Structure 1
Amino acid sequence: MKAESETKTQKAESNELEQSSFGLSALSFPLKIGYDGKRAANNLTGLGNYSRSLIEHLASQYPEHEYLVYAPKVKTARQIDAFFEKDNIELKLPKNGPFLWRTLNILKDLNQDGCQIFHGLSHEIPLAIQHTRIKSIVTIHDLIFLRFPQYYKFIDRKLYQWKSKSACKRANKIVAISEKTKEDIIDLYGISPEKIEVIYQSCDDSFKTAFAAATLSRIKATYKLPEKYILNVGTIEERKNLKLAVQALKELNEDYKLVVIGKQTAYFKTVEKEIEKLGLKNRIIFLKNIPFADLPGIYQMASVFVYPSFYEGFGIPIIEALYSGVPVVAATGSCLEEAGGPDSLYISPNDANGLAKAINQILESPQLQKEMKEKGLEFVQKFNSNLVTQQLMDCYLSL
């Protein structure tokens, strides 16, 4: 019995050593990299776009590897269909039913498929993955639900906190999408800085090429866009602070209108009341459900892009504006300076007069417009897709 017990102990120690020493240097190539694809396979905005763009660029830049996208179901849509038509991107649906699949049962599929890495693209990874041979990475976009809890339902806030904190503690590596998010992870979750890698996001490549004049004319006519306008893009919710842009509009030249693109929430009623109070109904245009293919053109025809959000994890719309050659005015207090760079203008998210002054400063100076466009475009190259993709692959290979 003693000899048998010693043998079992030795085997256990051997297995533990094997798992602790397992690293990508010991792996055979090509790699099989698995992703939490719930949003990539079902969402047409936000995290869906982020997920597809990230995987597509990896698959294009590093075609020698296999990219397995795990999702409980898949939505039929042009963007999603095109995504899964790529040769080395493969959709993986549950083999044994969707119940608790993303949280636990997915581990069976990952092992059967021979995945060496699993990347949770939005705040969570499967439970117990740390007890397998699979290396794990989790992307944390923001911890806004802890910094601004008033914007979230109690149960949602607790669930987000549990999932993200657990993932941060269990993952082999954490990808933060900004230095501000990294600071929040360290401060709020007590995670070692050495475990966190800041890898910025880029935006869709369609924002990086100027549209032809005929295309811009079509877009302008389709959406009845004015000759001169200030642009704001983002969900119309309290945190995004559209009310400040409305208040600033009152102090701008009446030749300029405000064009707003975004999904409306209950906060929209607050914005409507402010518009009525200030008598600005004829100077504001709300657009929604805009085809993604037309969005870059709307950016490119804007005079100024405004983003007065109280708090963001990064600020992709700012990147889109800079690539589109549009001067940016954004709010202080989170990470928007990281996205906009030193040559964009920044104001307090509580200062409507400051926002109006910054916009007027740009509108009244063609020279400043020229400098902001040129320097903004130069700055935004640090978010180039090829560079960001290389940083992510380097992160995988460092595991």
Structure 2
Amino acid sequence: MKIGIDARMYGAAQTGIGIYIKHLIEEIVKLDRENEYRIFLLEPEYSNFFSDNAKVKTIKVSAGWYGWKEQIILPRQFLKEHVDLMHFPHFNAPLFYPRPCVVTIHDLTPKYFPGHKVGASRHRRLAFEFVLKNILKKAETIIAVSEYTKQDILRHYPVSPDKMTVIYEGARLKDKVCVNEGQIQNLKNKYGIKKPFIFYVGVWRNHKNLTGLIRAFGILIKEYKLDIELVLGGKEDPFYPEARQEWKRSELGSRIIRPGFITDEELPLFYKAAEVFAIPSFAEGFGLVGLEAMNFGAPVASSSVGSLPEILGRAAVYFNPADHREMAKAIFSVLSDTLLRKRLIETGFEQAKKYSWRKMAEETLKVYKEAVNE
């Protein structure tokens, strides 16, 4: 069997989808030495990609995400490789690709929160709906990354539950990364972190609710009288200026540290050094960063919406993301209650162990085989 994977978003700037694709490919090419793989990549990932699996071939493509080239040029490149099955790890599959395929749906965020690039205008939002409906109808199997995402799809689209399967993602393993106090101190010196800090990492988009987190942080400073800092990791999104505007309005500029894009090498250090890891989101299909934070011993205060309670279980303190005072209260409880912190850290380690990239790859390979043999 020859399997194609649309890996154009491979590792893309710490997005959940980019991380998912990266780990899927890394694990599946180690696991499967029987089938052939065609990995479709953009530069620079094409030039940097390496696998010792002789049955893996990489193909350089030029069509970026969501544009007309994706719909017109990309299908021809896929067809040239004569694959038996294509895996589209995101909804943005070419409309005119005629061969068997499976698709992974992470969430329906563009449907609910149109303020970022995919849905920043009416025609883009309509395009999202059109492309999504097409791939949901065409795919042999639809992989959802959580039960929440599966049920969300079933609520909004005429999809048979029989063609859907839930395959959870994994999380970075702490035993693969060495973290020591010297490294943490160097990190703090580099970014000017002088006080205990709350940590957030992720894209800066409207559904991530960074404005809410900044407001909750202001309450912690002004009303709870805490002497702390807030570290907002991730690249700012020009389609979501509200976070920067809220940061400027807050008059807490010196206490809010923005390191920008955080490398894979530094991310475990931030997790380990943080007093609490905050997830203020209005929507999450999986909540990968929460599990990663738990793996490195950061207690988690999380929004109670979407898939987060499903994935994080009892290993987090939850709050209503629309209520800034409730968010502040939840974060304060983690910062101030020693017994609660201890419980969250211990249960967090156990919760993170439930999720494995290897298991995800094994279950995905099973989907490939079933899709081709149907």
Give the match for residue 110 of structure 1. Answer: 81
For residues 339-350 of structure 1, the aligned pairs below 5 Å read 339-350=311-322
Give the match for residue 45 of structure 1. Answer: 14
Give the match for residue 58 of structure 2. Answer: 91
Give the match for residue 4 of structure 1. Answer: none
Task: State the identity %.
Answer: 29
Residue 244 of structure 1 deviates from its aligned partner by 1.6
Give the match for residue 18 of structure 1. Answer: none
Give the match for residue 367 of structure 1. Answer: 339
Q: 2:198 aligns with which of 206, 209, 230?
A: 230
Please tell me the residue identity of whatever aligns with 1:155. H
Q: 1:212 aligns with which of 180, 188, 206?
A: 180
For residues 96-245 of structure 1, the aligned pairs below 5 Å read 100-102=72-74, 104-111=75-82, 115-127=83-95, 129=97, 132=99, 135-149=100-114, 152=119, 153-205=121-173, 209-245=177-213
Residue 85 of structure 1 deviates from its aligned partner by 4.2
Could you state the TM-score of these two structures normalised by the residue count of structure 2? 0.86
Determine helix, strand or coil for the equivalent of 1:325.
coil
Task: Specify every segment of 5 or more residues in structure 1 that has no aligned partner in the other structure, as ranges.
Answer: 1-30
Determine helix, strand or coil for the equivalent of 2:77.
helix
Residue 310 of structure 1 deviates from its aligned partner by 1.0
User: RMSD of the alignment, in Å?
Assistant: 2.6
CA distance 1:206–1:56, change in 2 (3 Å): farther
Determine helix, strand or coil for the equivalent of 2:110.
helix
1:54 aligns with 2:39: no
Cα distance between partner residues in 2 of 1:231 and 1:316: 15
Could you state the TM-score of these two structures normalised by the residue count of structure 1? 0.81
Cα distance between partner residues in 2 of 1:302 and 1:94: 39
Q: 1:319 aligns with which of 291, 296, 306?
A: 291
Contact 2:212 2:324 in 1 (8 A): yes
CA distance 1:106–1:189, change in 2 (3 Å): farther
Contact 1:34 1:119 in 2 (8 A): yes
Per-residue CA deviations over 1:137-196 (Å, capped at 9, x if unaligned) read 111111122233455221221112111210110110000111121112111111011111
Give the match for residue 65 of structure 2. Answer: none
CA distance 1:280–1:326, change in 2 (3 Å): same
Contact 2:88 2:104 in 1 (8 A): yes
Cα distance between partner residues in 2 of 1:99 and 1:364: 53
1:66 aligns with 2:36: yes
Cα distance between partner residues in 2 of 1:250 and 1:240: 18
Deviates more, 1:327-336 or 1:219-228: 219-228
Cα distance between partner residues in 2 of 1:139 and 1:300: 31
CA distance 1:265–1:219, change in 2 (3 Å): same
Please tell me the residue identity of whatever aligns with 2:335. L
Determine helix, strand or coil for the equivalent of 1:287.
strand
Give the match for residue 261 of structure 1. Answer: 233
Residue 94 of structure 1 deviates from its aligned partner by 6.2
Cα distance between partner residues in 1 of 2:296 and 2:176: 6
Give the match for residue 12 of structure 1. Answer: none
Higher RCO (CA < 8 A, seq sep 6+): 2
Per-residue CA deviations over 1:50-72 (Å, capped at 9, x if unaligned) read 2121111111122333321124x
Residue 325 of structure 1 deviates from its aligned partner by 1.4
